[in-house]
Amino acid sequence: MLVATWNINGVKARLETLLAWLDERRPDVACLQEIKSVDEAFPGAEIEKLGYHIETHGQKGFNGVALLSRSAPLAGSVLRGLPGDPADEQSRFIEALFAVPGSETPIRVACLYLPNGNPLGTEKFPYKLGWMDRLEKHAALRLAEETPCIFAGDYNVIPEPEDARNPADWLGDALFQPESRAAYRRLINLGYTDALRATTEQAGVYTFWDYQAGAWPRNNGIRIDHLLLSPEAASNLRSVAIDKHVRGWEKPSDHVPVIAEIA
């Protein structure tokens, strides 16, 4: 089973790129972030022609997440919005249960778009940390269920210095602040596994290259797109891949897909 995450940076602007990648990779579940579309305007027809079911939690102009899957989620299992703050109107979280071929146990896949938190010194950074606190509480509850679970998405967190080409460039950025990184470590310490780091310790492995200052041709990237696996999912992890080549396609997102293969 292939579970992927990709910040698409505008699904309407990248639709042809998305369709080409879906046709090439054929993930079983694809988690999209920053779709920048309300639910009713999501361009689903062409995606459905490729055999995908679509669940969205959209928002006009920015944010928004979606689950694309080869089979529909189990009935009644779709959750839109991260629990813990009914006043939070930003569309950043969706999850669902999916049947696993050959298994009686389903897998839960959560798609998240964690707040950026910049600029520091504004209300955006406390919102980021508060969101991460809510995510930690929700992730702990899911662990207690002992169902295979994957929290996949754009975390907007650079976990370690080796996850950036030039760590010093990010010292004043919310993505690399000690508080952000500590909140990410707390998720790991709950019992989740960073899928990529379970398969390689290699530095220079990135998922995001800015559009500015020639970041892509100079490979000046960072790793901020992660798949965190519960013990039940991690025990069946076979491999992780980063589809870096997609960044070189026409009209690319500044992120690339990350894919975990689960036995």
Is 154 catalytic? The answer is yes
**In one letter, which amino acid is 156?**
N
Strand order across the beta sheet in which 237-242 lies:
53-57, 65-69, 29-33, 2-7, 258-262, 237-242
Catalytic position from the list 57, 138, 226, 255: 255
H/E run at residue 19:
helix 15-25
Question: What residues does 80 pair with on adjacent strands?
Answer: 94
Catalytic position from the list 52, 57, 138, 154: 154
Say whether 243 counts as a known binding-site residue: no
Is 163 catalytic? The answer is no
Is 52 catalytic? The answer is no
Say whether 85 counts as a known binding-site residue: no
**In one letter, which amino acid is 246?**
V
Say whether 145 counts as a known binding-site residue: no
Say whether 254 counts as a known binding-site residue: yes
User: Cα dist. 48→22, 215, 248 in Å?
Assistant: 11, 34, 25
Say whether 7 counts as a known binding-site residue: yes
Please give the span between the terminal C-alpha atoms of the chain, in angstroms, as a whole number: 6
Which of 133, 163, 129 shows the shortest CA–CA distance to 258? 163
Catalytic position from the list 52, 113, 184, 192: 113
Which of 31, 29, 26, 33 shows the shortest CA–CA distance to 11? 33
Say whether 34 counts as a known binding-site residue: yes
Alpha-carbon distance 263 to 260, whole Å? 10
Binding region:
7, 34, 154, 156, 254-255
Cite the active site residues. Answer: 113, 154, 255
Binding region for Mg(2+):
7, 34, 154, 156, 254-255
